[in-house]
């Protein structure tokens, strides 16, 4: 074997690849402690009201049913920071699907049968679940998700827009979208001698452990949360969810380990969803294609339990130069499930609207849409005036155009036919911010020459475990095979969530720092490693809290080619191509897979994914994979992913930006712009299903 250390960027195969493909990797619901009982939750059957009575007699008669927990008999928890965790704490029903009982039984079948036999009486109140742009409940919040101000004004948008020679004023809509990770939300909880051990499908076992300790009045050391393998999350497993509370509660009440895997059809009501967004985008431009006014207003919903505001107008603050700008978020609290994070909250719907509007303005001006974007590249971040740490959007657009063959495009819409098919191409930009959070890591060297890195990072399928080994190997100047990585347990050094595309950068920084400290320790020891080995720890509390004087974002460009069937109205994507500028790419294999996955999710957002809200029942109309259509292999063309080598010294020691979310940003706009190019018709409401296209 070559002694050359592994370089960052190499396509190292996932460490757990074999475990996963052979089924040896154990997920949260695949741990069955001796004596394990099973739980099945009962969702509320009304959209608003109170539980007056729960008749559990029939359920308790079912052989194997151990107990039925209800708002009337469930143990009281310490007050929860997150109101969605206060399950079975009072009789209020804030939305349909809110859990109102939990059946625990010897078998899964008995628990499920028991859940169906629980009879509930409600005091039903009138509900309000439908968002419209004129909704009287809309208000401007203090801030929106991510801590951004809800409103930003720059220059004088009103007159800037009124005086612009070319104006677009267009409304777009993105309906509610659901997180449907392949592994549903699941938890196996076990109490052992006053200690709680939980296998939990989570994007962050540190936060899950802290939350469980706080709710159940335990010391943090009494709780261990294990999230060794996680089958996707997309934000829905970023914060602890009711299944954690219910499983722990049930285990304590029954004195048995309890397993609770949420049925997929219940997920939309309890794991967060992407709230619908209604967009009004106003763009003013000079005849020379310089934007003079950028306005993006959105209306969205939240629940009555908590305020979560999809920050969809935020990307308009950083994308394009213009002297006048106005970005506004409004939110209406409705009797709906609590919305939350879903891959690129804010950017995904926001950039669909903004990048569609850019395409429309390009058409009005008669300029090429790439040219329009290039002409409006800002010298610094328009919102704050801060310099970009790096911004290679123009390079992404140019390289993408060349690779895609953009110059062969006939700009006239509706002109390319193949029998009954109309063909078109479209482009859109992408952006995602760089987030970095404090993390702690430990590095250990054994006298035999091996290394071990320990950090409570979570690999939700991204390849993070492998990339952390690469980061350690690079810092230690050794081969990646010499590094063992332990992650996914709350008793490891604490680390931030696998969220906001921040995981690898945040954890990697702590790992890098620990490995550097280890090398410094070697130097002190003169290279002699004692029998017990050498162990050091490091954290990035200071570095990450210091923030940056720079505006830090990844950028990208998405290109799509579509065919539109003029007989059926079916849109199919023939080609998708993305070029990204996301700092240093740390593992070309797993990075490609992240980008491809994001683009695939963007394709779903463009063409098939949609949830309706039934006004009468107050429920999502698409809640399982039979009705909520995620793209399948037959829907996904060959996706091409490229990136440019970007050097950015203002990020972290690896020079990396996050890559987990940018793939979904702008993809739907590229597809929608291609559909408009194919047909000449602009559809401003996703997804582009045949009923709208025809």
Of 191 and 432, the one with the shorter C-beta distance to ligand MOS is 432
- Degrees, nearest 5: CA angle 431-437-439: 140
Number of residues that bind ligand MOS (CB under 6 A): 11
Taking the C-alpha atoms of residue 6 and residue 259, their distance in angstroms, rounded to an integer, is 41
Of 239 and 466, the one with the shorter C-beta distance to ligand MOS is 239
Strands of 304-359 (E only): list them: 324-334
**Span near ligand MOS by CB under 6 A; candidates 124-132, 337-345, 510-518, 573-581:** 337-345
CB of 435 to ligand MOS, least distance (A): 8
CB of 205 to ligand MOS, least distance (A): 14
Element at 74 (helix H, strand E): none
Q: Residue 668: left if φ>0, alpha if ψ -120 to 50, beta else—which one?
A: alpha
Of 291 and 342, the one with the shorter C-beta distance to ligand MOS is 342
**Span near ligand MOS by CB under 6 A; candidates 91-99, 166-174, 336-344, 666-674:** 336-344
Asked whether the beta carbons of 578 and 663 are under 8 A apart, the reply is yes
Taking the C-alpha atoms of residue 486 and residue 509, their distance in angstroms, rounded to an integer, is 16
CB of 345 to ligand MOS, least distance (A): 5
Let me know if 524 is a catalytic residue. Answer: no
Choice from 191, 216, 308, 341 touching ligand MOS (CB under 6 A): 341
Q: What are phi and psi of 448, to 5 degrees?
A: -75, -10
Choice from 257, 345, 598, 618 touching ligand MOS (CB under 6 A): 345
Choice from 41, 94, 238, 461 touching ligand MOS (CB under 6 A): 238
> Which of these is catalytic: 113, 297, 640, 661?
661
Choice from 114, 175, 235, 276 touching ligand MOS (CB under 6 A): 235
Q: What are phi and psi of 576, to 5 degrees?
A: -130, 135
Taking the C-alpha atoms of residue 312 and residue 300, their distance in angstroms, rounded to an integer, is 9
Taking the C-alpha atoms of residue 70 and residue 258, their distance in angstroms, rounded to an integer, is 17
**CA separation (Å) from 209 to 102, 219, 660?**
22, 10, 24
Of 43 and 660, the one with the shorter C-beta distance to ligand MOS is 660
Choice from 41, 43, 499, 556 touching ligand MOS (CB under 6 A): 499
Taking the C-alpha atoms of residue 38 and residue 260, their distance in angstroms, rounded to an integer, is 6
Taking the C-alpha atoms of residue 635 and residue 333, their distance in angstroms, rounded to an integer, is 36
- Degrees, nearest 5: CA angle 17-19-20: 65
Residue 503 within binding range of ligand MOS, rule CB under 6 A = no
Asked whether the beta carbons of 587 and 470 are under 8 A apart, the reply is yes
| Residue given tokens 């777009």 in the structure block | 172
Q: At 160, list the tokens.
A: 């800037």
CA atoms within 13 A on the CB side of 678: 32
Of 363 and 458, the one with the shorter C-beta distance to ligand MOS is 458
Torsion sign over Cα 150, 153, 154, 158: positive
Of 506 and 673, the one with the shorter C-beta distance to ligand MOS is 506
Evaluate the omega torsion of the peptide bond into residue 199 and state whether it is cis, within 30 degrees of 0.
no
Asked whether the beta carbons of 220 and 291 are under 8 A apart, the reply is no
**Span near ligand MOS by CB under 6 A; candidates 72-80, 207-215, 228-236, 515-523:** 228-236
Of 292 and 340, the one with the shorter C-beta distance to ligand MOS is 340
Of 260 and 271, the one with the shorter C-beta distance to ligand MOS is 271
**Span near ligand MOS by CB under 6 A; candidates 93-101, 107-115, 335-343, 637-645:** 335-343
Of 114 and 660, the one with the shorter C-beta distance to ligand MOS is 660
Evaluate the omega torsion of the peptide bond into residue 687 and state whether it is cis, within 30 degrees of 0.
yes
Residues facing 484 on adjacent strands: 452
Which residues in 19-48 contact ligand MOS (CB under 6 A)?
none
**Span near ligand MOS by CB under 6 A; candidates 193-201, 230-238, 284-292, 294-302:** 230-238
Kind of pairing, strands 553-565 and 151-154?
A: unpaired
Residue 150 within binding range of ligand MOS, rule CB under 6 A = no
Residue of closest CB approach to ligand MOS: 235
Of 376 and 667, the one with the shorter C-beta distance to ligand MOS is 667
CB of 454 to ligand MOS, least distance (A): 23
Kind of pairing, strands 440-445 and 258-261?
A: unpaired
Alpha helices in 99-182 (DSSP H): 108-116, 157-162
Residue 597 within binding range of ligand MOS, rule CB under 6 A = no
In angstroms, how far is CA 630 from the centroid of its own chain? 15
CB of 90 to ligand MOS, least distance (A): 29
Choice from 500, 604, 653, 655 touching ligand MOS (CB under 6 A): 500
Of 99 and 341, the one with the shorter C-beta distance to ligand MOS is 341
**Span near ligand MOS by CB under 6 A; candidates 2-10, 233-241, 301-309, 535-543:** 233-241
Alpha helices in 456-555 (DSSP H): 464-476, 503-524, 541-546
Residue 461 within binding range of ligand MOS, rule CB under 6 A = no
Q: At 581, list the tokens.
A: 């500028």
| Residue given tokens 């009923």 in the structure block | 691
Residue 342 within binding range of ligand MOS, rule CB under 6 A = yes
**Span near ligand MOS by CB under 6 A; candidates 58-66, 231-239, 330-338, 418-426:** 231-239
Closest CA to 460 of 202, 683, 166, 176: 202
Of 345 and 400, the one with the shorter C-beta distance to ligand MOS is 345
**Span near ligand MOS by CB under 6 A; candidates 77-85, 227-235, 531-539, 600-608:** 227-235
Taking the C-alpha atoms of residue 629 and residue 316, their distance in angstroms, rounded to an integer, is 29
Residue 604 within binding range of ligand MOS, rule CB under 6 A = no
CB of 208 to ligand MOS, least distance (A): 14
**Span near ligand MOS by CB under 6 A; candidates 264-272, 342-350, 593-601, 649-657:** 342-350
Residue 242 within binding range of ligand MOS, rule CB under 6 A = no
CB of 233 to ligand MOS, least distance (A): 6
CB of 420 to ligand MOS, least distance (A): 39
User: CB within 8 A of 190, min separation 6: which ones?
Assistant: 33, 196, 197, 198, 251, 257, 258
Element at 47 (helix H, strand E): none
Taking the C-alpha atoms of residue 275 and residue 95, their distance in angstroms, rounded to an integer, is 14
Which residues in 159-218 contact ligand MOS (CB under 6 A)?
203
CB of 341 to ligand MOS, least distance (A): 4
Residue 272 within binding range of ligand MOS, rule CB under 6 A = no
Asked whether the beta carbons of 95 and 303 are under 8 A apart, the reply is yes
Residue 339 within binding range of ligand MOS, rule CB under 6 A = no
CA quadruple 62, 66, 71, 77: dihedral, nearest 10: -170
Choice from 282, 343, 444, 592 touching ligand MOS (CB under 6 A): 343
- Residues labelled catalytic: 661
Binding site for ligand MOS (CB under 6 A): 203, 233-235, 238, 341-343, 345, 499-500
């Amino acid at each position: 074997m070559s002694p050359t250390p592994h370089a960052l960027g190499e396509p190292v195969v996932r460490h757990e690849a074999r475990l996963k493909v052979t089924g040896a990797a154990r997920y949260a619901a695949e741990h069955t402690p001796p004596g394990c009982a099973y739980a099945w939750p009962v969702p509320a059957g009304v959209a608003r009201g109170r539980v007056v009575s729960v008749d559990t007699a029939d359920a308790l008669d079912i052989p194997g049913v151990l107990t039925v927990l209800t708002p009337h008999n469930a143990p009281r928890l310490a007050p929860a920071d997150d109101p969605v965790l206060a399950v079975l704490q009072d009789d209020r029903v804030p939305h349909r699907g809110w859990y109102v009982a939990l059946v625990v039984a010897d078998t899964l079948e008995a628990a499920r049968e028991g859940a169906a036999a629980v009879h509930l009486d409600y005091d039903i109140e009138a509900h309000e679940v439908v968002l419209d742009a004129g909704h009287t409940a809309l208000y401007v919040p203090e801030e929106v998700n991510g801590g951004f101000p809800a409103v930003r004004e720059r220059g004088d948008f009103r007159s800037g827009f009124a005086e612009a020679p070319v104006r677009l004023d267009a409304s777009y809509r993105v309906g509610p979208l659901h997180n449907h990770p392949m592994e549903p939300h699941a938890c196996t909880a076990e109490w052992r001698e006053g200690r709680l051990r939980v296998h939990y499908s989570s994007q962050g076992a540190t936060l899950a452990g802290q939350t469980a300790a706080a709710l159940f009045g335990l010391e943090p050391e009494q709780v261990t949360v294990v999230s060794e393998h996680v089958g996707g999350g997309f934000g829905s497993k970023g914060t602890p969810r009711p299944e954690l509370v219910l499983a722990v509660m049930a285990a304590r009440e029954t004195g048995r380990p309890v397993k609770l895997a949420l049925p997929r059809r219940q997920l939309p009501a309890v794991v967060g969803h992407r709230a619908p967004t209604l967009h009004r985008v106003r763009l003013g431009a000079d005849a020379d294609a310089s934007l003079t006014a950028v306005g993006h207003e959105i209306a969205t919903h939240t629940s009555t339990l908590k305020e979560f505001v999809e920050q969809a107008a935020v990307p308009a603050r950083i994308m394009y130069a213009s002297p006048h700008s106005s970005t506004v978020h409004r939110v209406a609290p409705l009797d709906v499930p609590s919305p939350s994070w879903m891959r690129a909250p804010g950017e995904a719907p926001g950039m669909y609207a903004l990048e569609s509007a850019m395409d429309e303005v390009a058409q009005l001006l008669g300029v090429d849409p790439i040219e329009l974007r290039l002409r409006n590249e800002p010298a610094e971040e328009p919102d704050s005036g801060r310099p970009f740490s790096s911004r290679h959007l123009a390079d992404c657009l140019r390289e993408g155009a060349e690779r895609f063959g953009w110059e062969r495009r006939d700009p006239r819409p509706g002109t390319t036919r193949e029998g009954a098919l109309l063909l078109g191409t479209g482009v859109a930009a992408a952006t995602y911010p760089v987030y970095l959070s404090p993390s702690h890591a430990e590095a250990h060297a054994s006298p035999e020459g091996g290394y071990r890195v320990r950090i409570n990072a979570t690999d939700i399928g991204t390849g993070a475990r492998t990339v952390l080994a690469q980061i350690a190997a690079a810092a230690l100047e050794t081969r990646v095979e010499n590094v063992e990585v332990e992650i996914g347990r709350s008793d490891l050094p604490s680390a931030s969530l696998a969220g906001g595309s921040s995981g690898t950068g945040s954890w990697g920084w702590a790992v890098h720092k620990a490995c550097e400290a280890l090398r410094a320790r070697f130097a002190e020891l003169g290279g002699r490693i004692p029998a017990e080995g050498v162990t050091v720890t490091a954290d990035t509390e200071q570095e990450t809290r210091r923030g940056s004087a720079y505006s830090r974002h990844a950028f990208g460009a998405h290109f799509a080619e579509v065919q539109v069937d003029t007989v059926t109205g079916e849109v199919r994507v023939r080609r998708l191509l993305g070029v990204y500028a996301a700092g240093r790419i740390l593992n070309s294999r797993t990075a490609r897979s992240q980008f491809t996955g994001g683009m695939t999710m963007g394709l779903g957002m463009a063409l098939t994914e949609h949830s309706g809200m039934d006004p009468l029942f107050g429920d999502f109309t698409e809640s399982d994979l039979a009705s909520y259509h995620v793209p399948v292999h037959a829907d996904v063309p060959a996706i091409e992913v490229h990136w440019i080598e970007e050097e950015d010294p203002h990020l972290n020691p690896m020079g990396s930006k996050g890559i987990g979310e940018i793939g979904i940003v702008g993809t739907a706009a590229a597809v929608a712009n291609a559909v408009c190019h194919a047909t000449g018709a602009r559809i401003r409401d996703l997804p582009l299903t045949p009923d709208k296209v025809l």
